[in-house]
Chain A
Amino acid sequence: MRGRVRRMRLVGIGYRRPLAAWIDQSPPEVDCLEVVAEHFTGPHAGQLTALRKRYPLMVHGLGLSLGTPGPLDARRLASFRDVVTLADPLWVSEHVAFTRSGSIDLGHLSPLRPDADSLAVLVEHAIEVREACKRRLLLENITTHLRLSGSMSETDFLNRACEGAGCGLLLDVTNVVVNAHNHHFDPHEWIRQLDPRHVVQLHIVGYRVGESRWEDMHADAIQEDVLRVAETALQHAHPEAIIVERDASFPPTSELAQELETVRHLD
């Protein structure tokens, strides 16, 4: 538990099964864990009890589809709430996105139009999730290959969503870097347009350089340019936690530990 209580800012990692053996050893570089809600429904739910005894947890959702008009999927919300109950997290988070329409389940995140209609749906659903879980809810910016036009900028949309729903922001630094490259804007300036009071947590990981676009694969070491944008975020706001969000191509744990230490010493 070295240093977990004293530090002002927690540094942790997204809990994934290939990391379980390492996490079991209580590596000193890990202050906290972020668990994906959908990974702990069903047969793996019992593991949360053991994890929460050893680490402060955050519960991260992928499939509530906060941006889809109409009621939230009651079954998914109930599953999410069950995971939150077991994990007893510091806070919960979901994406500013939609993952399904009326009849189609996309399975993953697609962008919302930054306009008043989307904002109203997002705010209503965010409040519903926050109240159902009785936890602080953070909204996360996503990567997208499609930039939808609307009546406001993406940063204005995020600021208004957080304000309207009484939520915080999970600022995914890598998503900003990837979008900035693919859509040709300045990631530092984008971050400075965010209301710093809302930024509670950062996500960070490396990006993948594709043939024509950069991809958010969660499978690469953190690059220097991502670290520089993270520094801008830390100079602009004062997040309470930073999570390294690696999903695949896991390096030796010594490299992950080093990456966590690098992130810890950003300022």
Chain B
Amino acid sequence: MTDIDFFEAFARLLTDPTLRARFVADRAHTVVSMCIRPGDDAQILALDPAGLVAQAATLVDKRLHEASELIPVTWANLGTSARPMFLSYAEGEWAPDAARPLADAARFARHLASRGDARVHLPELHRMEFLSRGTRWSVRLVASVLRGRRRRSLDILVRMPAGAVRGVSLYLGL
């Protein structure tokens, strides 16, 4: 197995809560188990555990803030459970992605929807998935709450030549 460098080891500690907890409890054994390149291992060993935990929390908090702004209706529907639910999702989800905020919001909403959570605002989920995928258009039948009543609509999203996104919702059975 190839030894990992400082950046890889640091990133793993920031993104893997189980590994981080092991590091906080026993730095020396955890560093040995990570197979870090000689020289870099001493730098990792010197990391301040409390600072590491705070830095990791900051990274997830930044993502949480971005997601809350991208899916405001879903976020409001989740109420006080939004934060713990996002943290539970985000700590295990670090896939490389250039469109991280959009993809994060989409994955979080999809994660909830796949569990049957009716608080997900499906038009928002549709929009986030559309924006993060970069396709030209998307049509989806979605259900949402409109003026207190559950409605179904055909949501159409189109990416215009200049890059702007236009959307229309055709409500069914009004």
Residues of A within 8 A of B (CB): 38, 41-46, 63, 67-69, 73, 75-76, 79, 98, 100-108, 110, 113, 144-149, 212-213, 215, 217, 247-248
CB contact between A100 and one of B11, B47, B65 (< 8 Å): that residue: B11
| Cβ–Cβ < 8 Å partners of B77 in chain A | none
| Cβ–Cβ < 8 Å partners of B48 in chain A | 146-147
A104 to B12, CA, bound (A): 8
DSSP majority for the A interface?
loop
| Cβ–Cβ < 8 Å partners of A42 in chain B | 99, 131, 134, 163
Query: Quick check: B58 and A43 within 8 Å, CB to CB?
Result: no
Query: Quick check: B96 and A100 within 8 Å, CB to CB?
Result: yes
Given A43-B165, A107-B100, also A101-B63 (CB < 8 A)? no
Given A43-B164, A46-B162, A113-B6, also A105-B94 (CB < 8 A)? yes
| Cβ–Cβ < 8 Å partners of A146 in chain B | 47-48, 51-52, 54-55
Which among B7, B10, B100, B134 has the greatest number of chain A C-beta atoms within 10 A? B7
Nearest residue (CB) in A for B166 is A43
Query: Quick check: A44 and B46 within 8 Å, CB to CB?
Result: no
A148 to B12, CA, bound (A): 16
Pick 19 A–B contacts, CB within 8 A, sort by A: A63-B98, A73-B98, A76-B98, A100-B96, A101-B5, A103-B96, A104-B15, A104-B94, A105-B100, A106-B11, A107-B59, A107-B104, A110-B11, A145-B51, A146-B54, A147-B51, A149-B43, A149-B46, A215-B58
A104 to B95, CA, bound (A): 7
A238 to B107, CA, bound (A): 45
Q: Within 8 Å of chain A (Cβ to Cβ): is B3?
A: no
Query: Quick check: B8 and A103 within 8 Å, CB to CB?
Result: yes
A82 to B101, CA, bound (A): 20
A124 to B164, CA, bound (A): 35
Query: Quick check: B59 and A110 within 8 Å, CB to CB?
Result: yes
| Cβ–Cβ < 8 Å partners of A102 in chain B | 4-5, 7-8
CB contact between B14 and one of A67, A68, A110 (< 8 Å): that residue: A110
| Cβ–Cβ < 8 Å partners of A103 in chain B | 8, 11, 96
Query: Quick check: A213 and B162 within 8 Å, CB to CB?
Result: no
Nearest residue (CB) in A for B68 is A248
Nearest residue (CB) in A for B165 is A43
Q: Within 8 Å of chain A (Cβ to Cβ): is B62?
A: yes
A107 to B58, CA, bound (A): 11
DSSP majority for the B interface?
helix
Nearest residue (CB) in B for A112 is B7
| Cβ–Cβ < 8 Å partners of B101 in chain A | 38, 107
Query: Quick check: A43 and B163 within 8 Å, CB to CB?
Result: yes
Query: Quick check: B58 and A108 within 8 Å, CB to CB?
Result: yes
- Extra 14 A-B pairs, beta carbons < 8 Å, given A79-B98, A146-B52: A38-B101, A42-B134, A43-B159, A67-B7, A69-B5, A101-B8, A101-B10, A101-B11, A103-B96, A104-B8, A105-B95, A107-B100, A108-B59, A146-B47
A69 to B40, CA, bound (A): 13
| Cβ–Cβ < 8 Å partners of B6 in chain A | 113
CB contact between A248 and one of B10, B51, B65, B134 (< 8 Å): that residue: B65
Q: Say how far A192's CB is from chain B's closest CB, in angstroms.
A: 25
A236 to B40, CA, bound (A): 36
Query: Quick check: A106 and B98 within 8 Å, CB to CB?
Result: no
A145 to B15, CA, bound (A): 15
Q: Say how far A200's CB is from chain B's closest CB, in angstroms.
A: 26
A63 to B96, CA, bound (A): 12
Report B4-25 residues with CB < 8 Å from chain A CB: 4-8, 10-12, 14-15
